[in-house]
Amino acid sequence: MPLAKDTLFYSLANWSRRLVGFVVAPITISYLTPADYGYMSLVSTVGSFCSIIGLLAIADQGLARFFVDSKDEFEKTRYVTTSFLVCSMGVFCVSLIILASTPIIPFLFEDVQVPIVFTSLVAVICLTQSIQYVGSNMLKWTFQSPLFTKITLIHTLVGATLTIGGIVVLGWRAKGVLLVGAAVALGAGIWANLSIREYIKFSTVSKNTLKELVTYSWPLLGLNIFAFFTRSLDRIFLASLASLGAVGIFSVSSAVSGIFDTVVSGFFFAWGPYVLSTFREIWASKRYAQFFRVTSWFGIISIIGLGLWGSPVVMLFRPDGSYKTIGVFIPWGVSGSLLYYLGGYFTPGPAITKKTYWKLIGFLLAAITNAILNYVLIPIMGILGACIATTMSSLSAGIFNQYVSNRLFFLPNRWKSSFALIIFFTAVISCLQNDIFPYNVNGVSLVSRFLLTVIFICAGTVPFYGDIKASGIINQMARMIKK
């Protein structure tokens, strides 16, 4: 089964990356302060946003649509060549704009010292992330998941080794870690882009090809921007309205909740090509709905597990109490990611019918919601306000996208009940670790915490049991592993 095969390879890459991350985490948590984390997170967030603008949505949206639909090999090469050149030029121009914006940085972020260093790091992150992203997408859409996995594994191991050595031996802090990460990402990106030439040759650029790519992609650039705002605007607001230390605490809780993203990312890497190649089958609608419900169930289990156990694990590495409150924030981080995926990836209607402007509207709504809620809630609730704002913005996008998509390509996925259960378990797990509530779990034994986890997991599984059994996904993955 192509979906299971590609999911296995992409998941292997991302699970290995997370495993190496577990090795690096104790070092970084022990040596880097919340302010260090905040600085790194802010640079990475702004750099990623600039990369999105520079790529013009062509590498992940336009190339995907026309490459899959094209039956002629020469035509495929034109789409690949045009995408590569346009993205390279776009990112280079955006990097120059970043450096030119140095004078306004002190007005945006008071805690940032030496603005020129900040903008230089942002430009470097933008360039290197873009090169790596283009290469990864080329491998994805030429169906080279094994090679993608190989490059990812080597990239992860080299980056982790240099980071640990730099922090422990050379005394690196935020800036050093950022630079070594950028250097390794650049190497991985160059490798991925050069490897594409073994599977598809570059050709001349066609004006018609360029027009097709830009016409299809430009509305989706807005979608990418607003989708980014839906998930990452909180860090920028925290840096502006609170402090880099608050961003750092938020970043550590996001790193823990990001385990969910890592586990499911392999599936969603494979999901896009799978949907575009199978949506005409008579079984497609029912099958997609089953995957939706199973993903909802797995997300709720992640909210429970990561939410209840993330804080005790982090406290082992940083017992001074710097991150003692992250248990309140982790469930919201997981649910925000889960709702983002359910509202973004399980809504194939606009892509299938080529009415992608609906997704643009959905994420515009979410971005506006996120901005308003961050601005209102952060001064009142601090980090928790940012977490709630992001989750609610993902929820608003999910509701809108599900409603529209089901009008264009119906899925019997019972999304309303799934969303309600996600918010319920998120609120309960978060409240159980907040000191203002009399029945919080921070003072109980680990055995009691474990029993509580089991009870919640059982409660969260019951509503989805029928879909889990009907999907057969567990049996399919077991057969793939045996092969």
Report, as an integer, the average pLDDT of 134-153.
79
Contact of 315 with 323, CB cutoff 8 Å: yes
Q: Is pLDDT at 482 greater than 60 in this prediction? A: no
Q: Is pLDDT at 3 greater than 70 in this prediction? A: no
Report, as an integer, the average pLDDT of 97-107.
93
At which residue do the structure tokens 């809630």 appear?
377
Dist CA 213 CA 368 (whole Å)? 28
Q: Is pLDDT at 471 greater than 90 in this prediction? A: no
- The predicted pLDDT at position 474 comes to 57
Q: What is the pLDDT of residues 282-296, one digit of tens each?
A: 888 988 999 999 999
Chain centre to alpha carbon of residue 362:
18
At which residue do the structure tokens 């990312």 appear?
265
Residues 6+ apart with CB under 8 A from 379: 241, 385
Q: Which residue has the higher pLDDT, 15 or 356?
A: 356
Q: Is pLDDT at 139 greater than 70 in this prediction? A: yes
- The predicted pLDDT at position 101 comes to 93
Amino acid sitting at position 277: S
Q: Is pLDDT at 201 greater than 70 in this prediction? A: no
Closest C-alpha among 187, 197, 124, 183 to residue 154: 187
State the number of CA atoms in the 13 A half-sphere of 421 facing the CB: 22
Q: Is pLDDT at 203 greater than 70 in this prediction? A: no
The boundaries of the domain holding residue 322 are 2-482
Q: What is the pLDDT of residues 329-363, one digit of tens each?
A: 999 999 999 998 998 889 888 888 878 778 878 88
Q: Is pLDDT at 104 greater than 90 in this prediction? A: yes
- The predicted pLDDT at position 322 comes to 78
Q: Which residue has the higher pLDDT, 230 or 274?
A: 274
Q: Which residue has the higher pLDDT, 184 or 204?
A: 184
Report, as an integer, the average pLDDT of 55-73.
76
Helices and strands (H, E) in the chain, number of each type: 19, 0
Q: Which residue has the higher pLDDT, 416 or 67?
A: 416
313 in helix, strand or coil? helix
Q: How far is CA 363 from CA 101, 111, 343, 396, in A?
A: 27, 30, 10, 9
Dist CA 441 CA 425 (whole Å)? 15
- The predicted pLDDT at position 241 comes to 87
Q: How far is CA 111 from CA 87, 102, 242, 314, 420, in A?
A: 33, 14, 10, 26, 39
Percent of the chain with pLDDT over 70: 92
φ and ψ at residue 97, rounded to 5 degrees: -65, -35
- The predicted pLDDT at position 60 comes to 76
Q: Is pLDDT at 54 greater than 80 in this prediction? A: yes
Please give the model's pTM, rounded to 2 decimal places: 0.74
Dist CA 57 CA 54 (whole Å)? 8
Report, as an integer, the average pLDDT of 4-20.
69
Banded pLDDT at 19 (limits 50, 70, 90): low
- The predicted pLDDT at position 2 comes to 60
Report, as an integer, the average pLDDT of 254-267.
82
> Picking from 118-132, 180-194, 215-229, which range would have the lowest pLDDT averaged per residue?
215-229
Q: Is pLDDT at 455 greater than 90 in this prediction? A: yes
Q: Is pLDDT at 114 greater than 80 in this prediction? A: yes
Q: What mean pLDDT is reported for the chain?
A: 85
The structure tokens listed for 463 are 């509503």
Q: What is the pLDDT of residues 23-51, one digit of tens each?
A: 777 787 778 888 888 898 899 999 999 99
Closest C-alpha among 84, 286, 362 to residue 205: 84
Q: Which residue has the higher pLDDT, 428 or 252?
A: 428
The DSSP output letter for 437 is S
Dist CA 206 CA 227 (whole Å)? 30
Number of structural domains (the chain) is: 1
Report, as an integer, the average pLDDT of 429-454.
86
At which residue do the structure tokens 């390279």 appear?
88
> Picking from 35-44, 66-75, 255-264, which range would have the lowest pLDDT averaged per residue?
66-75
> Picking from 91-105, 173-187, 217-231, which range would have the lowest pLDDT averaged per residue?
217-231
State the number of CA atoms in the 13 A half-sphere of 160 facing the CB: 18
Q: Is pLDDT at 328 greater than 90 in this prediction? A: yes
The structure tokens listed for 62 are 């336009």
Closest C-alpha among 225, 161, 229, 178 to residue 38: 178
Contact of 471 with 290, CB cutoff 8 Å: yes
Report, as an integer, the average pLDDT of 296-325.
88
